[in-house]
Amino acid sequence: MSILVNSETRVMVQGITGGYGAAHARLSLAYGTKITAGVTPGKGGQLFEGRIPIFNTVEEAKRQTGATATAIFVPPPLAADAILEAVAAGLDLVVCITEGIPVRDMVKVKRVIQGTTTRLLGPNCPGITTPGDGPESQGGCRIGIIPWQLHKKGNIGVVSRSGTLTYEAVSQLTAVGLGQSTCAGIGGDPVHGLSHIDIVKMLDADPDTHGIVMIGEIGGSSEEEAAAWIKDHCRKPIAGFVAGATAPPGRRMGHAGAIINGGTGTAAAKIQAMREAGIAVAPTPSAIAETLVARMREMGVL
């Protein structure tokens, strides 16, 4: 099993005719992802790569192809509208890759999606991958931009706010022989959809996930919330890492959400919360996989 997506998930791509969206749609198709539709208003009726139908609206793409998930690659000023169109169409999962969406737009989006059944991953995230059963773990579901070559099918769930730091962790896991059940990037923006806690709960409930890697960074309290829940509920081995121990307060470190404000959101506080929850915190970003291996051995699950 896996969380949120599997090899059967039917995916549409909003912004499939843009350079970035097209490039990653091709990579996902090559990986074996069931991309059934593209959406570009005004280009309905055309075909992507000569075979994937393009629609003018998300609603039509869903109705005609049965897609239940979407990857959003539209420019920042149009992204909030694209997310809400997918929510209105009743998709199960919306993965928004777009970086640079105004916070006010996301505050409105968050307000509207409350109470709906749609789950939002991102924005400003690398997406989600569930490796497949084929050679080199192909045939899985890749929504977003994570390089699929890093993955190996297995039993470790990964959740992270960062893109390349996730790649670092996944490649370490694969190198030590630990494959992944699902890797999900929740994004680096201050207002986002699913949080660490939501993904950890799903990974905890997934029988095929035997261990978890949770990667955080400075800013906000997503890591602390997840740690508080883990302390009382999760018995699976978890390795954690928090980036930004050397970041100066009051400065945004690249990600819009990575900022220490008024003494809150520090790496030290997050690391402490993780340790109190029984999470093994990696001392350096190079030691994420070995920290998980050690914890799994300690708990007798490896």
Partner 1 sequence: MNIHEYQAKLLLGRHGVPAPTGVACDTPLKAKDFAQELFEQGQRRVVLKAQIHAGGRGKGTFKNGLKGGVQICGDAEEVYERAKKMLGGTLVTNQTGPEGRVVSHLLVEAASDIKKEFYLAVLLDRATSRPMVMVSTEGGMEIETIAREKPEKILKEIVDPAVGLMPYQARKLAVALGFTGDMLHSASKLFLGVYQTWWENDASLLEINPLCVVEQPGGKASLVVDAKMSFDDNALYRHPDILAMRDLAEESPLEIEASKYTLNYIKLDGNIACMVNGAGLAMATMDIIQHFGGRPANFLDVGGGAKKEHVTAAFKIILGDPNVRGILVNIFGGIMQCDIIAQGILAAAREIDINVPLVVRLAGANADIGNKMIAESDLKVASASSLTEAASKIVQAVAQSPK
Catalytic residue among 151, 192, 210, 255: 255
Distance CA 302, CA 179 (A): 13
CB of 87 to partner 1, least distance (A): 15
DSSP per position, 113-172: HTTSS-EEE-SS--EEEE--SSGGG-SSEEEES--GGG--EEEEEEEES-SHHHHHHHHH
Selected binder of partner 1 within 220, 230, 281, 295 (CB under 8 A): 220
Nearest distance from C-beta of residue 168 to partner 1, angstroms: 6
Q: Is residue 28 a contact residue for partner 1 (CB under 8 A)? A: no
Q: Among the candidate windows 7-15, 206-214, 252-260, 292-300, which touches partner 1 by CB under 8 A? A: 252-260
Q: Does 253 bind partner 1 (CB under 8 A)?
A: yes
Nearer to partner 1 among residue 155 and residue 162 (C-beta): 162
Q: What is the CA radius of gyration of the chain?
A: 19
DSSP 237: -
- x/- site string to partner 1, residues 231 to 250, per CB under 8 A? ----------x-xxxxxx--
Catalytic-residue membership of 255: yes
Residues 6+ apart with CB under 8 A from 259: 218, 219, 250, 251, 252, 253, 265
Q: How far is the CB of 207 from partner 1 (least distance, A)?
A: 29
Matching residue, tokens 């075979």: 51
Our CB check for partner 1 shows the closer of 63 and 104 to be 104
Closest CB to partner 1 among 37 and 256?
Answer: 256
Angle between helix 267-276 and helix 222-233 axes, rounded to 10 deg: 10
Kindly state whether residue 180 participates in binding partner 1, applying the rule CB under 8 A.
no
Give the nearest distance from C-beta 263 to partner 1 in angstroms: 6
Provide the minimum distance between the beta carbon of 38 and partner 1 in the complex, in angstroms, as a whole number: 19
DSSP state string for 71-111: EE---HHHHHHHHHHHHHTT-SEEEE------HHHHHHHHH
At 215, the amino acid letter reads: I
**Cα end-to-end distance, the chain, whole Å:** 19
Among 285, 294, 299, 302, binds partner 1 (CB under 8 A): 285
222-233 and 196-205 are packed helices; what angle lies between their axes, rounded to 10 degrees? 30
Active-site residues, by number, are 255
| Residue numbers at the binding site for partner 1 (CB under 8 A) | 76-77, 100-108, 110-111, 126, 145-147, 149-150, 160-168, 171, 188, 190-191, 215, 217-221, 241, 243-248, 251, 253-258, 262-263, 267, 283-287
